[in-house]
Chain A
Amino acid sequence: MRKLGLVGNPNCGKSALFNVLTDSDARVGNWPGVTVERKEGFWEGGECLCIDLPGVYSLSPYTPEERATVQFILEEKPDILLQVIDSTILERSLFLTTQLMELDTPMVLALNMVEIAKNQGVFIDADKLSNILGVPVVEISAITGEGKGELAKSLYMAVRKGRKGITVLQQDQKLWQKIQPLMQSFLGQTQGLFCSIRWLERQEKLDWEGEMAAVRYGFSVNCCNEVISEKSAGDSPTEKLDKVFLHPIWGIPIFFLCMALIFHLTFSTSFFGTGLPSPGVFLRQGAEHGMEMMRDILTVFFPKMPYWGRAFLTEGIFGGMGKAVSFLPQILCLFFCLTFLEDSGYMARAAFLFNKPMGKLGISGRAFLPILTGFGCSVPAMMSVRTLEWEKSRRIMRLIIPFFSCGAKLPLYALLVGLLFPQKGGVVIFCLYCGGILVAVFWAMILEKKINPPQKAPFIMEMPLYHLPRWNNLMRTLGRRGEEYLTKAATVILGASIIIWLAAHVNLDFHFTHDSGKSILAMVGRGLSPIFVPLGFGGGEEGWKASAAILSGFAAKEAVVSSFGVLGGAEGMFTPLSAISFMVFHLLSIPCVAAVSAFWCEERSGIRLLFALCFWLFTAWMASFLIYQTGLFGIAFFKIL
């Protein structure tokens, strides 16, 4: 089978094209650097294995995920390369083309986003471009898949014809004189021309790199002059929108307004003060009713079930896993909003707005994407940290990512807030999220000083054009998120629910007991209580339930809620203050097993892992301790007054 590598600049639509060709659902976003890992899929129409690679601006890349792309080309020897080009940025895209042309691998150019370019008044003559470059050029649409057939044909032809690398550096006498003898020494090797140029580029004494870039861009400019006919267009929609969203005064307030609106939409029980539930709360209530109905139906259908069987079903399965599942619609509601913003291109603007404050933390505005991903799930967030330029920023980010409250932590907030702060739900949860961010900021400032070397993270980022998020893409992201959540519910959370239920109903002699206070779990919980009592929970007759629930959170954060469902203890266990302390501990402590193993995969160092675990635990304990004790003091103080 033939191997087809998809290459191109970041955010040029490679993944979208990959999805269209192979009918898969790789993550797509309007942000340079969404793809951090290669993905494979079979394209039936083209009869080849497609490999979607992280975007690169050139073949002398410098972040780990960009290096992966070059490594793929050189080591895995794809049969053909398809360069996807954002037609609105032809000039810069051709810079990469001039480097790809030096390879002996057959290639085809795919002009994507032709419509958008036309709307901007840019018309590209594909045939002329093909003549100049000596490479087939095809117009395609990565959204609709238009031009797929044409593309398959030219790919087929290109592979049959084969290819010998050529270089535009030939146009420069001085460079060409340098390259020619090098080629002799690389003679017979695969990719000889490419390797000799790479070798010359790395010679540090003279600035060949700069000269080469100048020649390449010179070629690109001439090429564009030949093939582009421009008609003047007015202010593009992007420019008009940026005048508002990047306004020197209003830009930042608008950002916070957007965020507050999203939280109001998801968590408020009184939507815009009407007393009606917001869409997010409405969805959750619906799901809860659905779960209760299912439980009732099951108990009606099996009326003769023995007592323990019934208890296991209603408390263990529905109380535990069912509880966690009923929060899914609300979580999806939050993700819908965040994905909408990311897809539209707004999040890249947020990175621009906040570069200065973030620079002070040793990370750049680019860290916005990992952070945003972190609000969804810490695992992909740990992975997307790879797109940052400095190892230092990457290390800081990996440590603080768990403080950006992930979706799995949300059910617990929703549960406790519903019980203890029914009127102020949205506000409390918003404060928790902000609190997590503040803790992250606090630690980043310290880590920035402690981790060597003391250099600043660079910020270079393309501002993508705004576009209206596509419904398909939004639904696909949500579908994937829902699927992940349900899979987790059916495996880890179900398992944890069963274990918790059993441990809560079996005593030390391994007999079933009705008094869960004498169960194994209660013993364990009480054993842990001394750690948690200063934080305001874990003490008293029922307190072991809170300790046990926190413990189950290491399997999966949703399991904390399912544990409460199984143990039936959340009502009446907390005061408002201890509930907040509990939520803060839940937010900041060690993330779930999956996130910890993602951390391990990226760092590969036992000492750093141990440090991280202690770091998270310490942060959570200290924060909860301070909040609870200060709160107690405050309450006592007001009572005296």
Chain B
Amino acid sequence: METSLNFLEEGEQAKVVRLTCHEELYRRLLEMGFTPNTHLYCIRWAPMGGAIEVRIRGFSLALGYSEAESIVIEKGGG
């Protein structure tokens, strides 16, 4: 089922479906490797839920809540 990255909980896996953001943010996320079907998993949420740390393509990336909202994912896989 499709949802967005901000609904991914600690330790859960998912794969990228598409990005709903535009221009600069879109480009930056592409650079970081958020292309369709890429696997990622949530390492942790920051206190107060302000940011999420995900593991994607072998490195750790911190994303703000609203950036996470713009990444459509499908939970599961591995």
Q: Write the residues of chain A forming the contact surface with B, with a CB cutoff of 8 angstroms.
A: 57-58, 60, 62, 88-92, 95, 209-210, 213-214, 217-218, 242, 246, 248-249, 251-252, 348, 351-357, 359, 364-365, 389, 456, 458-463
Contacts and interface: CB of A to CB of B under 8 A. Distances in A.
A460 B30 contact: no
A246 B24 contact: no
8 contacts: A62-B27, A217-B35, A248-B44, A353-B47, A356-B65, A458-B25, A458-B67, A460-B63
B66 A251 contact: no
Chain B: number of interface residues, binned into ranges = 35 or more
Nearest to B23: A62
B57 A91 contact: yes
B49 interface: yes
Contacts of A251: 46-47
Contacts of B59: 88-89, 92, 462-463
Interface in B15-35: 19, 24-33, 35
Contact of B64 (A210, A249, A353, A355): A355
Nearest to A213: B30
Interface of B: 19, 24-33, 35-36, 38, 43-51, 53, 57-67
Contacts of A354: 50
A95 B30 CA distance: 10
A242 B64 CA distance: 18
Contacts of B65: 356, 359
Contact of A356 (B33, B50, B60): B50
B61 A461 contact: yes
B33 A92 contact: yes
Contact of B33 (A62, A88, A91, A359): A91
B51 A91 contact: no
A460 B29 CA distance: 8
A287 B30 CA distance: 54
A460 B30 CA distance: 12
Contacts of A62: 24, 27-28
Contacts of A89: 57-59
Given A352-B53, A458-B64, A459-B62, A60 B27 contact: yes
B19 to A, nearest CB: 8
Q: Pick the 10 closest A-B CB pairs, nearest first.
A: A356-B50, A459-B64, A213-B30, A57-B31, A463-B60, A355-B51, A214-B35, A355-B50, A58-B31, A356-B48
B46 A353 contact: yes
A57 B62 contact: no
B36 A214 contact: yes
Nearest to A211: B35
Contacts of B26: 209-210
Contacts of B62: 348, 351-352, 355, 365, 459-463
